[in-house]
């Protein structure tokens, strides 16, 4: 496959951090992600078809850490459990950690059931941890004994079972491999600096003695694999990434290499953890996300994504042009938490009713979500996925320029034709007061050609419209992406505007269909109490003081009137408070009935 030259991408993964919480931790961990690049794929490429067209995959974190489940010597450590031995979590010495293998016995690991779960969930392949940063191999490694066969009472290779089960149910299979960090092998990044005899060890030692042989093993002993998912390259020299890619190409000519291999190499871009982008992203890319807030099993983490949340995040990723890989963290005994399985199955039932919406689709021509949901495209068809069904009997679509030949409301295999009219550049569909689906209802729209739209924002007459600062034109203030961790390893991402000069503004052009008064809310973080102004150019201006907040919260600011249908410029500025740190995330407008 011929890939175009990667382009350095600095919009979504810019390494800017907000001081909301644990920013020192964020910075250190952030450095391990390496450079971000856009990968463009050749149109005739065969390699990576499941990735490109399947759009949905299962990620599995399973290892020694799963046995600890975030609890060590009776104390619970909150955050990502696969980092439990690291000093920012429990700080377990290498020998003590290695001893845990004697207790690790995943007897409930049911490879067939997991492969079937992925299939039922609508996922097209599974990527599982063959070795995480702790250095423990979850397969029968001939080159290193710290593995599930030689060091545990389980004594069998669950990866053989899973590779076989995936083949049997007809989905793809691949491996995660931590190539740069190895915390237990001498010379591995963040690992011991001397060997068992006290002799200094460097990265080259680790790389040649453990990483290369193991990557050869995982790419040659498990049949054809879809992807080798390397992780956290940090500042590892590019020559090592090149060597690993060579091994993958030789042993698995049809496999993709994840962009996290480092050095700007790899076949596709993996965005930041848990990052569903707000704007379409070019090229081949994926979002990795998890069913709760943890990758590995954490005994306390019951914060499961509902079936609707899973579908919304999957569709949002696909509608931005990407692939969604969703993680489960089995328990130390190998069993899958019931709530994760339940959410996956329920969302999977929906996907099996509407496969055309998810697989082999193109991104939304609006390039961003719409207030009620999102849009995916297949040729001259658009699928409107409506998460917030309007009870008004009308669904509004701003800025569609291509003529509609027909539209229907789907109900699984059956459908009902719906009518529409066009008013001031808006398409208004006549719909029933309730959608047919409990989760997300789908309207299929057939067009006279490929969809062409004016991608600007319209104020939806039914649903609050949130305008993100990511899409704002900013003058006299600074717009930048930010990310932070809620708990250690639980990432949140946004774009925000701060550093406001006097007269500085964030502005958006908005299309209004229904004139009237709109309730205006701002979502911001900043201290002390802040005074904001919101103005319609040539029209009303409101200003108000609202509370300080160390994290992003929505505050009502007041009402704004839009006297007639048409286009308006909307401007927000910060008048009082700490204008340097006052951080605006979005403005929301809601028509007052």
**Residues interacting with ligand FHN, by CB under 6 A?**
33, 80, 82-83, 231-232, 273, 288, 295
Q: How far is the CB of 231 from ligand FHN (least distance, A)?
A: 5
Return the half-sphere exposure (C-beta side, CA atoms, 13 A cut-off) of residue 427. Answer: 20
Q: How far is the CB of 267 from ligand FHN (least distance, A)?
A: 17
Beta-carbon contacts of 331 under 8 Å, excluding residues fewer than 6 positions away, are 66, 69, 108, 297, 337
Interatomic CA distance for residues 550 and 583, integer angstroms: 10
Q: How far is the CB of 235 from ligand FHN (least distance, A)?
A: 15
Beta-carbon contacts of 42 under 8 Å, excluding residues fewer than 6 positions away, are 1, 2, 3, 4
Q: For residues 215 and 591, which CB has a smaller minimum distance to ligand FHN in the complex?
A: 215
SS3 assignment, position 96: helix
Q: For residues 135 and 365, which CB has a smaller minimum distance to ligand FHN in the complex?
A: 135
Q: How far is the CB of 369 from ligand FHN (least distance, A)?
A: 23
Distance of CA 451 to the CA centre of its chain: 26
Q: For residues 62 and 386, which CB has a smaller minimum distance to ligand FHN in the complex?
A: 62
- How buried is 301 (Cβ within 10 angstroms: 0-12 exposed, 13-18 middle, 19+ buried)? buried
| Alpha-carbon dihedral sign for residues 194, 200, 201, 203 | positive
Q: For residues 14 and 548, which CB has a smaller minimum distance to ligand FHN in the complex?
A: 14
Q: For residues 83 and 389, which CB has a smaller minimum distance to ligand FHN in the complex?
A: 83
Q: For residues 490 and 521, which CB has a smaller minimum distance to ligand FHN in the complex?
A: 490
Q: For residues 83 and 268, which CB has a smaller minimum distance to ligand FHN in the complex?
A: 83
Residue in 424, 490, 123 with CA at minimum distance from that of residue 272: 490
Q: For residues 24 and 194, which CB has a smaller minimum distance to ligand FHN in the complex?
A: 24
- How buried is 68 (Cβ within 10 angstroms: 0-12 exposed, 13-18 middle, 19+ buried)? buried
Q: How far is the CB of 279 from ligand FHN (least distance, A)?
A: 21
Question: Length of the chain in residues, anyone?
Answer: 593
Interatomic CA distance for residues 158 and 593, integer angstroms: 59
Beta-carbon contacts of 383 under 8 Å, excluding residues fewer than 6 positions away, are 354, 356, 357, 361, 375, 376, 377, 442, 443, 444, 445
Interatomic CA distance for residues 375 and 123, integer angstroms: 20
Q: How far is the CB of 303 from ligand FHN (least distance, A)?
A: 17
- Crossing angle of the two packed helices 158-169 and 111-121, in degrees rounded to 10: 40
Q: How far is the CB of 263 from ligand FHN (least distance, A)?
A: 17
Q: How far is the CB of 53 from ligand FHN (least distance, A)?
A: 22
């Amino acid at each position: 496959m011929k890939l175009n030259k990667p382009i350095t991408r600095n919009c979504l993964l810019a390494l800017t951090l907000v001081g909301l919480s644990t920013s020192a931790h964020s910075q250190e961990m952030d450095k391990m992600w390496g450079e971000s690049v856009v990968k463009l794929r050749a149109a005739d490429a065969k390699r990576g078809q499941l990735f490109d067209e399947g759009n949905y995959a299962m990620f599995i974190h399973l290892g020694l850490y799963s046995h600890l489940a975030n609890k060590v010597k009776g104390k619970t450590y909150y955050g990502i459990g696969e980092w439990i031995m690291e000093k920012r979590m429990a700080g377990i010495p290498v020998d003590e950690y290695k001893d845990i293998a004697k207790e690790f016995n995943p007897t409930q690991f049911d490879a067939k059931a997991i492969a079937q779960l992925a299939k039922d969930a609508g996922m097209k392949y599974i990527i599982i941890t063959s070795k995480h940063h702790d250095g423990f191999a979850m397969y029968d490694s001939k080159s290193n004994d710290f593995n599930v066969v030689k060091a545990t009472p389980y004594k069998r290779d669950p990866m053989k079972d899973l590779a076989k089960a995936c083949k049997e149910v007809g989905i793809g299979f691949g491996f995660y491999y931590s190539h740069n960090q190895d915390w237990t092998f001498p010379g591995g990044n963040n690992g011991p600096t001397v060997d068992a005899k006290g002799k200094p060890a460097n990265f080259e030692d680790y790389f040649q003695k453990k990483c290369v042989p193991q990557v050869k093993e995982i790419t040659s002993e498990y049949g054809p694999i879809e992807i080798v998912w390397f992780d956290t390259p940090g500042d590892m020299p590019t020559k090592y990434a090149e060597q690993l890619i060579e091994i993958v190409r030789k042993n698995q000519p049809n496999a993709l290499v994840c962009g996290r291999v480092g050095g700007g190499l790899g076949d596709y871009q993996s965005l930041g953890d848990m990052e569903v982008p707000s704007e379409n992203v070019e090229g081949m890319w994926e979002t990795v996300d998890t069913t709760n807030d943890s990758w590995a099993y954490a005994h306390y983490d019951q914060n499961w994504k509902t079936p609707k949340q899973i579908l919304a995040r999957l569709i949002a990723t696909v509608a931005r042009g990407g692939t969604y890989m969703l993680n489960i963290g089995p328990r130390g005994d190998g069993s899958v938490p019931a709530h994760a399985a339940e959410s996956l199955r329920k969302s999977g039932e929906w996907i099996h009713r509407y496969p055309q919406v998810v697989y082999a689709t193109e991104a939304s021509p609006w390039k961003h979500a719409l207030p009620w949901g999102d849009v995916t495209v297949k040729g001259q068809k658009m699928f409107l996925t409506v998460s917030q069904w309007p009870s008004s009997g009308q669904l509004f679509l701003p800025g569609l320029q291509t003529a509609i030949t027909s539209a229907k409301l789907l109900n699984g295999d059956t459908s009902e034709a719906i009518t529409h009219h066009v008013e001031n550049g808006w398409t208004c569909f006549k719909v029933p007061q309730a959608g047919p689906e409990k989760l997300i209802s789908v309207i299929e729209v057939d067009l006279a050609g490929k969809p062409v739209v004016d991608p600007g924002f319209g104020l939806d007459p039914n649903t609050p419209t949130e305008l993100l600062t990511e899409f704002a034109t900013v003058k006299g203030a600074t717009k930048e992406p930010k990310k932070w961790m809620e708990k250690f390893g639980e990432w949140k991402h946004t774009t925000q505007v701060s550093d406001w000069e006097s007269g500085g503004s964030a502005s958006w052009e908005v299309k209004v269909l229904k004139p009237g008064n709109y309730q205006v809310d701002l979502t911001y973080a900043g201290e002390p109490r802040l005074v904001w102004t919101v103005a319609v150019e040539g029209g009303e201006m409101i200003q108000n003081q609202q509370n300080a907040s160390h994290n992003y919260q929505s505050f009502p600011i007041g009402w704004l009137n839009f006297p007639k249908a048409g286009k308006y410029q909307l401007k927000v500025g910060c008048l009082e408070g700490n204008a340097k740190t006052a951080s605006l995330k979005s403005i929301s407008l809601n028509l007052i009935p």
